Amino acid sequence: MNPLARAAALPAVLLPLALAACAGDRDAGYPSLARRAVETRGFEEPATPPPAPMQADPALDRMIATQTAQLQTVRAGFDRDAAKAERAAAAARGAPVGSEAWLDAQTALAQLDDWRAQATAIASAAEVQGADRAATLAPDYPALTGLQRDAAAEAARQDALIRRLSASLPAA
């Protein structure tokens, strides 16, 4: 065969082979350009499910009842001793440090500090109980939240009164 004829026949043989290589499966390896289901959704957040109904916890309810009763006892004892401390502080105003009146006022303040420590212990125990529930992802327990709020408010009230009475006395 003539070399020229061979050169002319070569493209005729290679062209069908090249076209056959392009005739493979078109869907293998390339994604479709059609709209996907996710592209039709909006960007707003999904609705949050309603909270689970509150389930009673008898052990927690007993603890809350016990601590609420203790808090009421502490409040009553503090108020009773606060009246005595107010009178002792009024008697000690202007008295020198170390005098009998000053010592009586300091003793009354120490008793108030004891009541405040008890109120703070109740508030701390309620906070720990709430933190333990939060650690287990348990929902808020309204009675426990109320105890936390009441105990913290009582401890703050007692602290404010003790600070006011202490400030009215001469410093040692």
pLDDT for position 134: 93
Spatial contact of 70 and 151, defined as CB atoms under 8 Å apart? no
| pLDDT for position 127 | 97
Of 32-41, 93-102, 126-135, which range is least confident?
Answer: 32-41
Cβ-based neighbours of 155, under 8 Å, separated by 6 or more: 116, 119, 120, 123
Average pLDDT of the chain is 88
The Cβ-side half-sphere exposure at 164, using a 13 Å CA radius, reads 10
pLDDT band at 24 (very low <50, low <70, confident <90, very high): low
Going by pLDDT thresholds of 50, 70 and 90, the confidence category of residue 25 is low
- Residue 114 — pLDDT band, cuts 50, 70, 90? very high
**Mean predicted confidence (pLDDT) in 112-128:** 97
pLDDT (0 to 100) of residue 154 = 98
User: Per residue in 67-100, pLDDT tens?
Assistant: 999 999 999 999 999 999 999 999 988 888 889 9
Choice between 171 and 128, residue whose per-residue pLDDT is larger: 128
Residues in the chain: 172
pLDDT at 113 over 90: yes
Structural domain spans, the chain? 58-168
* This prediction's pTM: 0.68
